[in-house]
Amino acid sequence: MDLGQINPILLIASLMVASTPILLAALGELVVEKAGVLNLGVEGMMITGAVVGFAIGVNTGAPLMGFGAAALAGAALSLLFGFITQILKSNQVATGLALTLFGIGLSALIGKPYVGIKAPSFPRLDIPLLSDIPVLGPILFRHDLMVYVSLALVVAVWLILARTRAGLILRAVGENHAAAHALGYKVVRVRLAAIAFGGALAGLGGAYVSLVRVPQWTEGMTAGAGWIALAIVVFASWRPWRVLLGAYLFGGVTVLQLNLQAAAAQFPLASLPIIALLVLFWDSMSQQRRGLPLSTRRKVVYLAVVLVCLPATFLWWNVWTTFKVEFLSMSPYLVTILVLVLISVRGTHGAPASLGRVFHAST
C-alpha cells in the first residue's frame, strides 16, 4: 500500500479539472429541469460538443473558438429535442434517449478524421498574487479559463434563478405550467430558451473533455459523464450550489480512482461487510422509525447476511487482487448508484412539479 505517492494539493487541483465537464453539463440540465423539461440527451449533446469543439479548436488553432462552436452545436442539438418535445409534444424520455443515440452516431461520424490528433494547448491562467499563496494558490488560482467560467456560471445561475424576475418565471413554468400559461407567460418559449441554454452548457462540458482534460478525440470519450450529470441534478435537489458540491464530489472519486490505479494501492478489504452491515443497520433503523418491532424473520435474514459476509469477504479479496484496475474504473458509476439510492431514501425533495410532463395549451 503506497498512498504516499499521491500529492494532496495536486489531487485537489486535478479534481477541479476533472469535475468541470460534469459541473457545466449538470448546471445546464438544472436550468432545463427547473423549467419542467427532462432532457435525457445530455450525453449526446456532450459528445457532440466534444467533437465539434475539438474539430474547430484544431482547425483554427484557437481553443476558445472550439468552446464557442461546441456551445452552439450543443444548443442546436438541444433545440432539435426542444422542437420535437415542445412543439410536436413527444415523450421527453424517449426523445432524450433518441438525442443521445443520435449524438453518439453524429460525433463518431464527424470525429473520424480527428482520431489521434493532439488538441491545441489551452493556457493556464495563473491569477497574479493569489496564485502564489501556499497550498490554496495551486489549488484554486492556477487553472484555465473554463474552470473559472464554470464557477462563475454557478453563481450566475443561482442569482438568476433565485433573485430575478426571469428566474421566477422560469421556476413558475417548471412548477405549474398551466398556471404560468394562465398568467400569460409563454411556456413553450421559456422552455425552449432553457433547453438551448442546457444544450450550450452540455456542449461546453463536452469540449472541455476533448480540449483540456484528455486532450484528444476518441469515440465515446465522454463515457457516461452526461448521465452522471443527470444524476448530480437529482443529488443536488435542483439547487445550483449543491450541483457544484456534487460535481466536485464525483470529480474527486474519478481523480482518486485514477491515482489509486497509478499507485496500485489496495482497496480497503473490509468494504463489503461494512456496506452490508450499514444496510442492515439502516434497515433496522427504518423499522424502528416506523415504530415496528424487529420480527423473527428479519432477525434470521440479518443473521444470514452476516454469515454470508464472512466467506464473501474472502472471495472479494481474491477477486479484488486479480481485477483491481477494473474495479477502480467502475467506481464512479457505482458511487453514482450509491448516491442515487441514498438520495431516494431521503425522498426527492425539490423536483419541479411539472418535470417531464407534456404541456398542451387547450386554448
Partner 1 sequence: MSLIRLEKRPAPSALLSAATPVLAVIATMIAGGVMFWALGANPFEAIRTIFWDPLFDPTFGAYSRPQLLVKAGPLILIATGLALGFRAGIWNIGAEGQYIMGAIVGAGVGLALYPTETRWLFPLMVAAGAIGGWAWAMIPAFLKTRFGTNEILVSLMLVYVAENILASVSSGLLRNPEGHGFPGSRNLARDFPAASNPELIAGTGMHWGVVAAFAAVIFAYVLMTRHRMGFAIRLAGEAPRAARFAGVNPARLVLFSLGTAGAFAGAAGFFEVSGPAGQISIDFNSGYGFTAIIVAFLGRLHPVGILLAGLLMALTYIGGELAQLMLTMPAAAIQLFQGMLLFFLLAMDVFANYRLRFGTPEVA
Written in H, E and C, the secondary structure of 328-339 is HHCHHHHHHHHH
Of 42 and 196, which has the nearer Cβ to partner 1?
Answer: 42
Lay out the site mask for partner 1 across 6-45 (x = CB under 8 A, - = otherwise).
----------------------------------x-----
Instruction: Tell me, rounded to whole angstroms, the distance of Cα 3 from its chain centroid.
Output: 27
| 362 burial type by CB count under 10 A (0-12 exposed, 13-18 middle, 19+ buried) | exposed
- Judged by CB, which is closer to partner 1: 117, or 136? 117
Q: How far is the CB of 221 from partner 1 (least distance, A)?
A: 13
Q: State yes or no: residue 340 binds partner 1 (CB under 8 A).
A: yes
Give 139 or 195: the residue with its C-beta nearer to partner 1.
Answer: 195
Interface characters, 219-258, with partner 1 (x: CB under 8 A): x---xx--xx-xx--x------------------------
Contact between 312 and partner 1 by CB under 8 A: the answer reads no
**200 in contact with partner 1 (CB under 8 A):** no
Q: Find all residues with CB under 8 Å of 261, minimum gap 6, and list them.
A: 324, 325, 328, 329
Q: Nearest-CA neighbor of 325 among 263, 250, 251? A: 263
Minimal distance, residue 303 CB to partner 1, in Å: 20
Of residues 72 and 98, the one with the C-beta less far from partner 1: 98
Give the DSSP per-residue string, 200-264. Answer: HHHHHHHHHIIIIIS-BB-TTTTTTHHHHHHHHHHHTTT-HHHHHHHHHHHHHHHHHHHHHHHHT
CA atoms of 202 and 20, how far apart (whole Å): 11
State the nearest-atom distance from the C-beta of 153 to partner 1, in Å. 23
Please say which residue, 13 or 45, places its beta carbon nearer to partner 1: 45
Q: Which of residues 78-117 bind partner 1 (CB under 8 A)?
A: 80, 83-84, 88-91, 93-95, 97-99, 101-109, 112
Of the candidate spans 182-190, 237-245, 248-256, 326-334, the one that interacts with partner 1 by CB under 8 A turns out to be 326-334
Cβ-based nearer residue to partner 1, 89 or 118: 89
> Is residue 148 within the footprint of partner 1 (CB under 8 A)?
no
Phi, psi of 144 (to 5 degrees): -85, 170
Task: Select 158 or 210, whichever has its Cβ closest to partner 1.
Answer: 210
> Residue 148 CB, nearest distance to partner 1 (Å)?
30
In sequence order, the 6+-apart residues with CB closer than 8 A to the CB of 103 are: 41, 43, 44, 45, 46, 47, 48, 77
Closest CA to 55 of 45, 66, 44, 64: 66
User: How many CB atoms are closer than 10 A to CB 123?
Assistant: 8
Angle at the Cα of 153 from the Cα atoms of 16 and 106, rounded to 5 degrees: 80
Closest separation in Å from C-beta 266 to partner 1: 17
Q: Which residues here bind partner 1, judged by CB under 8 A?
A: 40, 80, 83-84, 88-91, 93-95, 97-99, 101-109, 112, 219, 223-224, 227-228, 230-231, 234, 322-323, 325-327, 329-330, 333-334, 336-337, 340-341, 343-345, 347-348, 360, 362-363
